[in-house]
Protein backbone atom coordinates (compact mmCIF):
# COMPACT_ATOMS: atom_id res chain seq x y z
CA UNK A 1 0.00 0.00 0.00
CA UNK A 2 1.37 3.43 -0.95
CA UNK A 3 2.05 6.02 1.73
CA UNK A 4 -0.40 8.41 0.06
CA UNK A 5 -3.21 5.85 0.23
CA UNK A 6 -2.37 5.07 3.84
CA UNK A 7 -2.49 8.75 4.81
CA UNK A 8 -5.80 9.21 3.00
CA UNK A 9 -7.37 6.24 4.78
CA UNK A 10 -6.11 7.40 8.19
CA UNK A 11 -7.32 10.98 7.77
CA UNK A 12 -10.72 9.93 6.39
CA UNK A 13 -11.22 7.54 9.31
CA UNK A 14 -10.06 10.05 11.90
CA UNK A 15 -12.39 12.76 10.64
CA UNK A 16 -15.45 10.58 10.13
CA UNK A 17 -15.42 8.02 12.97
CA UNK A 18 -17.33 10.04 15.56
CA UNK A 19 -19.16 12.36 13.19
CA UNK A 20 -22.64 11.08 12.23
CA UNK A 21 -21.64 10.47 8.59
CA UNK A 22 -20.37 6.84 8.58
CA UNK A 23 -16.66 6.16 8.74
CA UNK A 24 -17.07 2.60 7.41
CA UNK A 25 -18.99 3.90 4.42
CA UNK A 26 -16.22 6.35 3.61
CA UNK A 27 -13.55 3.66 3.98
CA UNK A 28 -15.44 1.44 1.53
CA UNK A 29 -15.79 4.29 -0.96
CA UNK A 30 -12.12 5.36 -0.92
CA UNK A 31 -10.86 2.42 -3.03
CA UNK A 32 -13.98 2.60 -5.21
CA UNK A 33 -13.50 6.28 -6.04
CA UNK A 34 -9.68 6.28 -6.22
CA UNK A 35 -9.21 2.98 -8.01
CA UNK A 36 -6.77 1.81 -5.33
CA UNK A 37 -6.88 -1.66 -3.82
CA UNK A 38 -9.06 -2.16 -0.76
CA UNK A 39 -6.94 -1.42 2.31
CA UNK A 40 -8.19 -4.56 4.07
CA UNK A 41 -9.61 -5.27 7.51
CA UNK A 42 -6.30 -4.88 9.38
CA UNK A 43 -5.79 -1.26 8.30
CA UNK A 44 -9.50 -0.55 8.83
CA UNK A 45 -9.25 -1.72 12.43
CA UNK A 46 -5.88 0.01 12.98
CA UNK A 47 -7.36 3.40 12.12
CA UNK A 48 -10.34 2.61 14.34
CA UNK A 49 -7.95 1.97 17.23
CA UNK A 50 -6.33 5.35 16.56
CA UNK A 51 -9.72 7.02 16.91
CA UNK A 52 -10.37 4.97 20.05
CA UNK A 53 -7.30 6.47 21.70
CA UNK A 54 -8.47 9.94 20.67
CA UNK A 55 -11.92 9.56 22.22
CA UNK A 56 -10.41 8.06 25.38
CA UNK A 57 -8.22 11.15 25.71
CA UNK A 58 -11.13 13.52 25.02
CA UNK A 59 -13.51 11.75 27.45
CA UNK A 60 -10.91 10.90 30.10
CA UNK A 61 -13.06 12.36 32.88
CA UNK A 62 -16.03 10.13 32.01
CA UNK A 63 -13.77 7.09 31.69
CA UNK A 64 -12.12 7.86 35.03
CA UNK A 65 -15.54 8.31 36.63
CA UNK A 66 -16.76 4.97 35.24
CA UNK A 67 -13.58 3.16 36.29
CA UNK A 68 -13.72 4.51 39.83
CA UNK A 69 -17.46 3.85 40.01
CA UNK A 70 -16.99 0.26 38.86
CA UNK A 71 -14.35 -0.37 41.52
CA UNK A 72 -16.65 1.07 44.20
CA UNK A 73 -19.57 -0.91 42.77
CA UNK A 74 -17.66 -4.15 43.16
CA UNK A 75 -17.42 -3.29 46.85
CA UNK A 76 -21.16 -2.69 47.04
CA UNK A 77 -21.12 1.11 46.75
CA UNK A 78 -23.00 2.11 43.60
CA UNK A 79 -22.75 5.66 42.27
CA UNK A 80 -23.46 7.47 38.94
CA UNK A 81 -20.11 6.32 37.50
CA UNK A 82 -20.98 2.68 38.14
CA UNK A 83 -24.45 3.22 36.68
CA UNK A 84 -23.02 4.75 33.50
CA UNK A 85 -20.54 1.88 33.11
CA UNK A 86 -23.38 -0.65 33.36
CA UNK A 87 -25.40 1.30 30.79
CA UNK A 88 -22.49 1.28 28.33
CA UNK A 89 -22.09 -2.48 28.79
CA UNK A 90 -25.83 -3.00 28.32
CA UNK A 91 -25.87 -0.83 25.19
CA UNK A 92 -22.92 -2.73 23.71
CA UNK A 93 -24.26 -6.27 24.06
CA UNK A 94 -26.73 -6.15 21.12
CA UNK A 95 -24.20 -5.09 18.48
CA UNK A 96 -21.60 -7.62 19.64
CA UNK A 97 -24.17 -10.43 19.54
CA UNK A 98 -25.55 -9.33 16.17
CA UNK A 99 -22.08 -8.83 14.69
CA UNK A 100 -20.96 -12.27 15.81
CA UNK A 101 -24.09 -13.92 14.39
CA UNK A 102 -23.76 -12.00 11.11
CA UNK A 103 -20.13 -13.01 10.68
CA UNK A 104 -20.63 -16.62 11.73
CA UNK A 105 -23.77 -17.46 9.79
CA UNK A 106 -23.79 -15.05 6.86
CA UNK A 107 -20.09 -14.31 6.38
CA UNK A 108 -20.44 -10.62 7.20
CA UNK A 109 -22.29 -7.71 5.65
CA UNK A 110 -21.66 -6.97 1.94
CA UNK A 111 -19.39 -3.93 1.48
CA UNK A 112 -20.93 -2.44 -1.66
CA UNK A 113 -21.18 1.23 -2.74
CA UNK A 114 -24.92 0.78 -3.41
CA UNK A 115 -25.60 -0.20 0.20
CA UNK A 116 -23.45 2.69 1.43
CA UNK A 117 -25.31 5.18 -0.77
CA UNK A 118 -28.83 4.14 0.27
CA UNK A 119 -27.93 3.88 3.97
CA UNK A 120 -26.15 7.23 3.92
CA UNK A 121 -29.18 8.92 2.39
CA UNK A 122 -31.93 7.16 4.34
CA UNK A 123 -30.42 7.30 7.81
CA UNK A 124 -29.21 10.85 7.16
CA UNK A 125 -32.79 11.96 6.54
CA UNK A 126 -33.90 10.09 9.67
CA UNK A 127 -31.29 11.94 11.75
CA UNK A 128 -32.52 15.26 10.38
CA UNK A 129 -36.17 14.55 11.15
CA UNK A 130 -35.50 13.26 14.67
CA UNK A 131 -33.12 16.11 15.49
CA UNK A 132 -35.69 18.67 14.29
CA UNK A 133 -38.66 17.32 16.27
CA UNK A 134 -36.81 15.93 19.29
CA UNK A 135 -36.69 17.67 22.65
CA UNK A 136 -33.38 18.83 24.13
CA UNK A 137 -34.04 18.58 27.85
CA UNK A 138 -32.21 15.50 29.11
CA UNK A 139 -28.65 14.62 30.07
CA UNK A 140 -26.86 11.29 30.44
CA UNK A 141 -27.42 11.45 34.20
CA UNK A 142 -31.16 11.06 33.48
CA UNK A 143 -30.76 7.91 31.38
CA UNK A 144 -32.55 4.72 32.43
CA UNK A 145 -31.33 1.20 31.67
CA UNK A 146 -34.15 0.57 29.21
CA UNK A 147 -33.16 3.68 27.27
CA UNK A 148 -29.52 2.57 27.16
CA UNK A 149 -30.69 -0.74 25.73
CA UNK A 150 -32.82 1.10 23.15
CA UNK A 151 -29.78 3.05 21.94
CA UNK A 152 -27.79 -0.20 21.93
CA UNK A 153 -30.40 -1.91 19.77
CA UNK A 154 -30.27 1.02 17.36
CA UNK A 155 -26.51 0.51 17.13
CA UNK A 156 -27.13 -2.89 15.51
CA UNK A 157 -28.26 -1.01 12.38
CA UNK A 158 -24.71 0.32 12.10
CA UNK A 159 -23.67 -3.12 10.83
CA UNK A 160 -25.15 -1.90 7.54
CA UNK A 161 -22.31 0.04 5.82
CA UNK A 162 -23.20 3.70 5.43
CA UNK A 163 -25.59 3.80 8.40
CA UNK A 164 -23.00 5.37 10.74
CA UNK A 165 -22.65 3.96 14.23
CA UNK A 166 -22.37 7.47 15.62
CA UNK A 167 -25.26 8.72 13.51
CA UNK A 168 -27.77 6.01 14.43
CA UNK A 169 -26.95 6.08 18.15
CA UNK A 170 -27.17 9.88 18.22
CA UNK A 171 -30.49 9.62 16.39
CA UNK A 172 -31.79 7.17 19.00
CA UNK A 173 -30.63 9.35 21.89
CA UNK A 174 -32.16 12.46 20.32
CA UNK A 175 -35.46 10.55 19.87
CA UNK A 176 -35.41 10.04 23.65
CA UNK A 177 -35.01 13.78 24.22
CA UNK A 178 -31.30 13.99 25.04
CA UNK A 179 -29.37 17.17 24.34
CA UNK A 180 -27.19 17.05 21.23
CA UNK A 181 -23.90 17.14 23.10
CA UNK A 182 -25.14 14.46 25.49
CA UNK A 183 -26.27 12.25 22.61
CA UNK A 184 -22.82 12.60 21.04
CA UNK A 185 -21.09 11.95 24.36
CA UNK A 186 -23.01 8.72 25.03
CA UNK A 187 -22.47 7.61 21.43
CA UNK A 188 -18.71 8.07 21.75
CA UNK A 189 -18.60 6.21 25.06
CA UNK A 190 -20.53 3.34 23.44
CA UNK A 191 -17.92 3.09 20.72
CA UNK A 192 -15.07 2.39 23.14
CA UNK A 193 -15.76 -1.28 24.03
CA UNK A 194 -16.76 -2.19 20.47
CA UNK A 195 -13.61 -0.72 18.89
CA UNK A 196 -11.45 -2.10 21.71
CA UNK A 197 -12.71 -5.64 21.10
CA UNK A 198 -12.08 -5.45 17.34
CA UNK A 199 -8.65 -3.86 17.84
CA UNK A 200 -7.57 -6.54 20.31
CA UNK A 201 -8.48 -9.36 17.93
CA UNK A 202 -6.66 -7.81 14.96
CA UNK A 203 -3.68 -6.95 17.16
CA UNK A 204 -3.34 -10.60 18.10
CA UNK A 205 -3.60 -11.58 14.43
CA UNK A 206 -0.81 -9.12 13.54
CA UNK A 207 1.40 -10.45 16.31
CA UNK A 208 0.92 -14.04 15.23
CA UNK A 209 1.44 -13.23 11.53
CA UNK A 210 4.74 -11.46 12.18
CA UNK A 211 4.31 -9.23 9.11
CA UNK A 212 6.63 -6.29 9.87
CA UNK A 213 5.52 -4.19 6.89
CA UNK A 214 1.81 -4.58 7.65
CA UNK A 215 2.47 -3.85 11.32
CA UNK A 216 4.34 -0.64 10.43
CA UNK A 217 1.53 0.44 8.10
CA UNK A 218 -1.04 -0.25 10.82
CA UNK A 219 0.89 1.75 13.42
CA UNK A 220 1.32 4.73 11.07
CA UNK A 221 -2.33 4.67 10.05
CA UNK A 222 -3.43 4.45 13.68
CA UNK A 223 -1.26 7.39 14.71
CA UNK A 224 -2.53 9.63 11.91
CA UNK A 225 -6.16 8.72 12.59
CA UNK A 226 -5.62 9.56 16.28
CA UNK A 227 -4.60 13.13 15.44
CA UNK A 228 -7.40 13.63 12.91
CA UNK A 229 -10.01 12.18 15.28
CA UNK A 230 -9.00 14.35 18.23
CA UNK A 231 -9.40 17.49 16.14
CA UNK A 232 -12.67 16.26 14.64
CA UNK A 233 -14.22 15.42 18.02
CA UNK A 234 -13.33 18.80 19.51
CA UNK A 235 -14.81 20.66 16.53
CA UNK A 236 -18.02 18.57 16.54
CA UNK A 237 -18.65 19.01 20.26
CA UNK A 238 -18.01 22.73 19.98
CA UNK A 239 -20.51 22.94 17.11
CA UNK A 240 -23.22 20.92 18.89
CA UNK A 241 -22.97 23.22 21.89
CA UNK A 242 -24.62 25.99 19.89
CA UNK A 243 -26.15 24.41 16.76
CA UNK A 244 -27.89 21.34 15.32
CA UNK A 245 -26.97 18.26 13.26
CA UNK A 246 -28.17 20.02 10.09
CA UNK A 247 -24.73 20.31 8.38
CA UNK A 248 -24.18 16.57 8.79
CA UNK A 249 -27.68 15.81 7.48
CA UNK A 250 -27.12 17.99 4.41
CA UNK A 251 -23.75 16.35 3.80
CA UNK A 252 -25.29 12.89 3.99
CA UNK A 253 -28.13 13.77 1.63
CA UNK A 254 -25.72 15.26 -0.90
CA UNK A 255 -23.29 12.37 -0.57
CA UNK A 256 -25.93 9.64 -0.70
CA UNK A 257 -27.87 11.26 -3.53
CA UNK A 258 -24.70 12.00 -5.49
CA UNK A 259 -23.50 8.42 -5.12
CA UNK A 260 -26.83 7.02 -6.32
CA UNK A 261 -26.78 9.26 -9.38
CA UNK A 262 -23.18 8.24 -10.12
CA UNK A 263 -23.85 4.53 -9.57
CA UNK A 264 -27.03 4.32 -11.66
CA UNK A 265 -26.09 6.64 -14.49
CA UNK A 266 -22.39 5.86 -15.01
For residue range 162-200, list pLDDT tens digits in order: 999 999 999 999 999 999 999 999 999 998 987 787 667
Task: Report how far residue 191's alpha carbon sits from residue 189's, in angstroms, rounded to the nearest whole number.
Answer: 5
**99 close to 2: Cβ distance less than 8 angstroms:** no
pLDDT at 96 (0 to 100): 87
153: number of CA atoms within 13 Å, CB side? Answer: 6
Helix axes 23-34, 113-133, angle to 10 degrees: 140
Mean pLDDT of 227-247: 95
Instruction: Please give the model's pTM, rounded to 2 decimal places.
Output: 0.89
pLDDT at 40 (0 to 100): 64
Average pLDDT, the chain: 87
**24 close to 120: Cβ distance less than 8 angstroms:** no
Q: What does the pLDDT look like over 57-105, one tens digit per residue?
A: 999 999 999 999 999 988 888 889 999 999 999 999 999 899 888 877 7
Neighbour-count burial of 213, counting CB atoms closer than 10 A to its CB (0-12 exposed, 13-18 middle, 19+ buried): exposed
**176 close to 150: Cβ distance less than 8 angstroms:** yes
Of 91, 88, 96, 48, give the one whose Cα is nearest residue 65. Answer: 88
Amino acid sequence: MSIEHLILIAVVQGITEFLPISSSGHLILVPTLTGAADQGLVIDVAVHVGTLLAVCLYLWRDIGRMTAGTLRGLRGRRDPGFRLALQIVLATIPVIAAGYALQRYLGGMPRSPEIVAWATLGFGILLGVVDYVGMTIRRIEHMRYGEALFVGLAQVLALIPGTSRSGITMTAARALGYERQEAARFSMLMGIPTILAAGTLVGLDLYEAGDARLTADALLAGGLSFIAALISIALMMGWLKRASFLPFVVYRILMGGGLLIWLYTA
